[in-house]
Amino acid sequence: MSASSSSLVVQVRGLKKSFGANRVLDGVDLDVHKGEVVVVIGPSGSGKTTLLRCINLLETYEEGSIQVDGVEVGFRDGPGGTRQHRGDRELSRIRADIGMVFQLFNLFPHLTARENVMLGLRKVRGLSAAEAKRTAEQWLARVGLADKFDSLPSQLSGGQQQRVGIARAVAMEPKVLLLDEITSALDPELVGEVLTVVQELAKDGMTMIVVTHEMTFARDVSTRILFMDGGRIQVEGTPRQVLSMTNHERLKAFLARIEMKHH
């Protein structure tokens, strides 16, 4: 990687994570630099979603290290070189700079589209109501929802809900945006409108880590593709390198399965 270390946004080292006896992440190393769009692919159970969820501490990790913008996310230094779990307040401050968009949208159903975007701006960033409203409306307009400010999530289509989800995340101006299979729950005809928004964010230089099964999107938008299997990163390279790699059996089998599902 030629980028200087000052532009390193996410640094993962030796990350291990188990659910009970089941090892989900088995030593993951990953560097993500400013402006990169890293797509993570792999069969279900390969650990890719868990990797994302560790980066913003929705899952805890015991072994290894995750730094976002130079700060260890899960731990702070304790006495005598030990490390201690961070408390809620510190974690919340760190999470405010890490955006996430979910497979099932997870919009707040009691709030309008505008209020969904405003909540973090008001209660975390401390913006005034007027500033938050303006910022929220700008972002909603950017994702093509200028006519849906006052709609409740239940009144929106899946694609529209997911675009609100993206607006809610990026309005916080995160240092990195985590996208967790954000089109998997959508009807096929709604996938395009969501991916177009992500593509524009990429063009604007948003740093992203994307878990997806959309190979066309991975090929066209990503700067790098990681193939995960068995809790490890098995293959890593540019889209062209990874997608044309024919000597890696598991990758080949995975790509063939994905291909079949889409035809």
Partner 1 sequence: MLYAIRSLPFLWQGLLVTLEVSALVVFFSLIAGVILGVGIVYGPPWLYWPIRIYSDFFRGIPLLVLIFFIYYGLPLFGLNFTNFGSVVLALSAFETAHIIEVVRGAIQSIPRGQNEAAKTIGLTFGKRLLYVIAPQAARRFLPPWINAVVDTVKGSALVSLVGIVDLMLAIQQVIGRTYIPMPLYVLGAVMYFVINYSLSSASRALEARFAYIRE
Q: Assign 2 to helix, strand or coil.
A: coil
Q: Does 95 bind partner 1 (CB under 8 A)?
A: yes
- Closest contact distance (angstroms) between CB of 135 and partner 1 is 13
Q: How far apart are CA 40 and CA 100, in angstroms?
A: 15
Cβ proximity to partner 1, 107 vs 201, nearer residue:
107
Q: Under the criterion CB under 8 A, does residue 124 sit at the interface with partner 1?
A: yes
User: Does 56 help bind partner 1 (rule: CB under 8 A)?
Assistant: yes
Take residue 175 and report the two structure tokens written for it: 């240092």
Residue 17: CB partners within 8 Å, gap ≥ 6? 23, 24, 25, 47, 50, 54, 59, 61, 62, 63, 231
- Strand-by-strand arrangement of the 8-19 sheet: 22-33, 8-19, 63-68, 71-72
Angle between helices 129-142 and 113-123 (to 10 degrees): 130
Instruction: Write down the least CB distance from residue 106 to partner 1, Å.
Output: 4
Shortest distance in whole angstroms from residue 109 CB to partner 1: 5
Interface with partner 1 (CB under 8 A), residue from 76, 85, 123, 240 = 123
- Nearest distance, CB of residue 126 and partner 1, angstroms: 11
Given the rule CB under 8 A, which of 32-40, 105-113, 238-246, 252-260 is the region that contacts partner 1?
105-113
Of the pair 179, 225, the CB lying nearest partner 1 is at 179
State yes or no: residue 58 binds partner 1 (CB under 8 A).
Answer: yes
Tell me the three state secondary structure of residue 4. coil
* Shortest CB 255 distance to partner 1, Å: 30
Contact between 8 and partner 1 (CB under 8 A)? no
Candidates 74, 120, 231, 239; binder of partner 1 (CB under 8 A) is 120
Contact 224, 209 (CB under 8 A): no
**Angstrom distance (rounded) from CA 155 to CA 159:** 12
Which of 109, 22, 23, 117 has the alpha carbon at shortest distance from 64? 23
Footprint of partner 1 on this chain (CB under 8 A)?
A: 56, 58, 88-89, 91-93, 95-100, 102, 104, 106-110, 119-120, 123-124, 152, 154, 168-169, 172
